[in-house]
Structure 1
Amino acid sequence: MFPINEFKITVVSESDTEGVFSVGPLPKGYANTVGTVFRRILLSSIPGAAITSVKLNGVQHEYTTIAGLKDDVLSVVLAMKGIALVSRSDDPVTLKLNKKGEKGKAVEVTAADLEKNPLVDVINPDYVITTLADEKAKLDVEVTVEKGIGYSLPQEEKREEVGMIPVDAIFSPIKLVAVDAKNARVGQQTDLDALEVRIVTN
């Protein structure tokens, strides 16, 4: 008989962005089934926030360059997608980033350079977006942050505004879910499973 009173979820290890959890005991053969459900739900159904459009002032489209900027505009737009965010607003939030280069040295532009907003938190402020090569370089950007679930294609209607570049968005804060079925025992009962779940977030 399955010892349901022994069932528990245990934290095996935990850090800011990763956790390993043990779930069990489970009836024999259930670990893979439960693990598949866990993985599907965690990867597809957890809400989050992401940048859905980028506007670089003075730029008409993504297939161009900005003087003094290490990367082309397309690379900067793609890099913006790597910024991890938390939004407390159900409506889109616009954040600005304005940074100038310095004489005699290269200046990195990071996620921390986004303007502070009480509705949005930047989770990875040290994330590098691009580099300003000289004092003539300037980056003047507006990004739109939205909440959502799963994956969203670029909203092409946003291109109606000059210079606005829509981007695809992965809203889920979950980056990886790995499941592993293991043998378990309770007392003399050995025909049991345990499920180990590893979760990596942004």
Structure 2
Amino acid sequence: MAECFSLQNVLETFKSSLSDNKEVYIKYYIAGWRELVSFMNSLGTVFSFISKDAVNKIQILENFLASENGSHYLTIQSMLKFELDNELVDLTKRANHPESGCRTLLRLHRALLWLELFLERLRTSTEESKTSVMCSEAYNESLARHHAWIIRKATGVAFCALPGRDAFFEVMNAGSHEEVVNLLGEALPLISEVYQITEDLYAKNNLLELP
């Protein structure tokens, strides 16, 4: 895991994750996620309930990449085809394959939307904007519907403890506020594209609600 978060690294890893024909390389997808975990961790324990789960999911996908079937896990597209063709995905209940690559990546995919929405709000925010409000709005539009009530409640409380806007700009290690905003403007469309390609792929295969 990166010792010091770098927004530039997020930009580069998500750019590297897209092949010429718009397949998504899992190696770079999870490298980008490692950077995002570093970003969350640099803000203290507020996001630990998401970052710890993300680290767990990253490890599962890395294990698949390193396994004898690793060649089938090079891209999200090849992973879905391999697991579906070989009935390695629990489509209705978690039974035989509770940690399939498809299910594991779907959890990261859902969290990626929350981060994308939050960072976009941060990019367009003003000095008066409250990070707790921006984060809560992004959460309610993305992850909330996948979480039990008790988690949603705890999350709402946790977001109230978020540091101010300046602290977020500082941990991005990308220079002045203007430079951070410009770099977010480059990185977020890439994250959005990777998200949408994955979303469309999962939707086409009826996998968006895997248990």
The answer to whether TM tops 0.5 is no
The TM-score normalised by the length of structure 2 is 0.20
Structure (1 or 2) with the greater helix fraction: 2
Structure (1 or 2) with the greater strand fraction: 1
Bigger CA radius of gyration:
1
The TM-score normalised by the length of structure 1 is 0.20
